[in-house]
Amino acid sequence: MSASVTRGELEDFLFLEAALLDNWQLDEWLALFVEGARYFIPPAGADDDADPATSLFYVADDYHRLCERVKRLKKRTAHAEFPRSRCRRMVSNVRLLGGADERFKVTSNFVTWRSKLGVTNTFFGHHLYEMTRIDGQLRILSKKTFLDQDDIREQGKVSIIP
């Protein structure tokens, strides 16, 4: 396990990520990812070993698609998020799972509340990250967001999950 990455640093980073998303600072959120990063949201209730090669994922973005997703969500024509939802994310149970500065694994739990048009939905689950440190800054190599509820029929939209 890397002695140069502390849980406190990881918590601060993940709290920042949540705040950027809550405040709809999508460009700043995207800057947390390295070029070439990947972002995945497997289907609700999927196991941690879910693979986009064998399952249909809600999101299976390479870096280019992630950049395009951010551009699209910021446009007025992104009807799912215009006007944008009010969201609040809580991050907890941050753990460093191992590795070294070049590449290490991190997990955390989350709850995201989304309110729009008089309806509030709750999403909960956990994230698995592969991270690195570049020029002293933590950066995301890959992120998987697992929804721990067994379905999302009632909520419907995953545009705010990241």
CATH for 117:
3.10.450.50
Residue 1 lies in a domain: no
Name which residue leads in pLDDT, 115 or 131.
131
Residue 46, pLDDT score = 86
Beta strands per DSSP E along 14-117: 33-41, 59-61, 86-100, 103-116
Q: What is the band of 156 on the pLDDT scale with cuts at 50, 70, 90?
A: low
Q: What is the band of 1 on the pLDDT scale with cuts at 50, 70, 90?
A: very low
Predicted model pTM: 0.89
Residue 154 lies in a domain: no
Query: Residue 56 belongs to what domain range?
Result: 7-147
- Residue entry with tokens 């849980």: 7
Q: What is the band of 82 on the pLDDT scale with cuts at 50, 70, 90?
A: confident
Residue 80 pLDDT greater than 50, yes or no: yes
Residue 160 lies in a domain: no
Split into its structural domains, the chain has a count of 1
Residue 16 lies in a domain: yes
24's tokens: 């709809």
Average pLDDT score over residue span 84-106 = 92
Q: For residues 117-146, b (16+ Cβ closer than 10 Å) or e, as one string?
A: eeeebebebbbbbbbbbeeeebbbbbbbbb
Residue 162 pLDDT greater than 80, yes or no: no
Phi/psi of residue 28, nearest 5 degrees: -65, -40
